[in-house]
Copies of this chain bind each other. A is one copy, B any other.
Amino acid sequence: MDLSSLKYNEAGLIPAIIQDADTGVVLMMAYMNQASLEKTLATGETWFWSRSRKVFWHKGETSGNIQRVKEVFYDCDSDTLLFKVEQQGAACHEGYRTCFHYRLEPDGTVAIVGEKLFDPEQVYGKRT
């Protein structure tokens, strides 16, 4: 398959859903451009494109919490990717296993679901 035939948005990006291959937990969503997708496929670890910093972002480079790619899917519109990965440690920079740890409750309040696996300050340093 020619990776240029996927549908990238006007910024050249395609959303990538990252799912735990073992448990099925959806860990995070981030964006890839074609070059970061190629790096992901070549290395077997996830590489994204940081929209805010405008740089390649090798997931886990700072924290060690890398994602080893087990399977790669795309959808019927060819505009979204799904990666099943083996996640080291926690996916979320806030220290939780999944970035989706905020649950919107029927009464409109928010519950934090899941256990904090690491202290972000210990891993990334204090943000000043």
Contacts and interface: CB of A to CB of B under 8 A. Distances in A.
Identical copies in the complex: 2
Interface of A: 1, 15, 17, 19, 23-26, 28-29, 41, 71-78, 80, 82, 92-94, 96, 99-104, 108-110, 113
A26 B19 contact: yes
Nearest to A102: B74
A73 B29 contact: no
B80 A101 contact: no
**Most chain B Cβ neighbours within 10 Å, of A28, A93, A104, A109:** A104
Contacts of A99: 75-77, 80
A17 B81 CA distance: 11
B26 A17 contact: yes
**Most chain B Cβ neighbours within 10 Å, of A73, A74, A80, A92:** A73
Contacts of A1: 104, 108-110
A86 to B, nearest CB: 16
In order of increasing CB-CB distance, the 3 nearest A-B pairs are A24-B24, A75-B99, A73-B100
Contacts of A101: 73, 76
B29 A26 contact: no
Nearest to A74: B102
